[in-house]
Amino acid sequence: MAIIARWMQVNGKERSGFVANGRCYPLAASESVQNLCDMGLAATLERAEQTIAEGEWVSLDQVQLLAPIKPPTIRDFVAFEEHVEGVRISVDGVAGVVPQWHEAPTFYFGNPHTVRGTGASIPIPAGCQELDFELEVAAVIGSVPGSNGENLDAATAHQHIFGYTIFNDWSARDLQRREMKVSLGPCKGKDFASTLGPWIVTADEFEHLHDEQGFLALQMQVSVNKQQIGMDLLSHMGWPFAELVAYASADSVVRPGDVLGSGTCGSGCLAELWGRNGTQSPPPLQPADTVVMSVEGIGTISNTVGARREAITRVPSSPRPRLEAARRAQG
Report the CATH number at residue 83.
Answer: 3.90.850.10
Question: Which pLDDT belongs to residue 186?
Answer: 87
Q: What pLDDT does 95 receive?
A: 80
Tell me, yes or no, whether 138 and 217 share the same domain: yes
Hey, which bits of the chain come out as E strands?
A: 3-8, 14-20, 23-26, 58-59, 64-66, 74-77, 107-109, 115-116, 121-124, 131-132, 135-141, 161-168, 171-172, 194-202, 219-224, 227-233, 259-261, 290-295, 299-308
**Is residue 136 within 8 Å of residue 265, measured between CB atoms?**
yes
Same-domain status, 120 and 193: yes
Instruction: Report pTM.
Output: 0.95
Identify whether 315 is part of a domain.
no
Residue that finishes a domain, picked among 47, 66, 85: 66
Count up the domains in the chain and report the number.
2
In this structure, is residue 274 part of a structural domain? yes
Is 113 found in the same domain as 213? yes
Confidence at residue 323, expressed as pLDDT on a 0 to 100 scale: 62
Q: Is residue 325 part of a domain?
A: no
Q: Write down the pLDDT at residue 326.
A: 66
Say what the pLDDT of residue 245 is: 98
- Give the residue numbers spanning the domain of 45: 3-66
Residues 137 and 102 in one domain: yes
With respect to residue 320, please indicate whether it lies within any of the assigned structural domains: no
Q: Please tell me whether residues 28 and 154 are part of one structural domain.
A: no
Residue 47 shares a structural domain with residue 163: no
Size (the chain), residues: 331
The last residue of a domain, from among 33, 66, 99? 66
The pLDDT value recorded for residue 331 is 62
User: Which three-class secondary structure state does DSSP give residue 262?
Assistant: coil
Pair 255, 204 in one domain: yes
Task: Point out the residues of the chain with pLDDT beneath 50.
Answer: none
- Domain co-membership, 273 together with 190: yes
Instruction: With respect to residue 326, please indicate whether it lies within any of the assigned structural domains.
Output: no
Please work out, in degrees rounded to the nearest 5, the angle formed at the alpha carbon of residue 192 by the alpha carbons of 191 and 197. Answer: 90
Q: Do residues 132 and 270 lie in contact, with contact meaning Cβ atoms separated by under 8 Å?
A: yes
Spatial distance between the Cα atoms of 222 and 200, rounded to a whole number of angstroms: 19
Q: Based on the domain organization, do 208 and 248 belong to the same domain?
A: yes
pLDDT at 324: 66
Alpha carbons within 13 A on the beta-carbon side of 299: 22
84 and 21, same domain (yes or no): no
**Is the residue at 147 inside a domain?**
yes
Residue 23 has what pLDDT? 98
Count of Cβ atoms closer than 10 Å to residue 92 Cβ: 13
Residues 60 and 83 in one domain: no
CA dist 316 and 293 (Å) reads: 38
> Which of 204, 209, 101, 194 is CA-nearest to residue 159?
204
Q: Is residue 323 part of a domain?
A: no
DSSP string, 155-181: HHHHHTEEEEEEEE--EEHHHHHHHGG
CA distance 110 to 167: 12
Asked whether residue 230 is domain-assigned, the answer is: yes
What pLDDT was estimated at residue 313?
86
pLDDT for 89: 84
Residues 47 and 140 in one domain: no
Contact 23, 9 (CB under 8 A): no
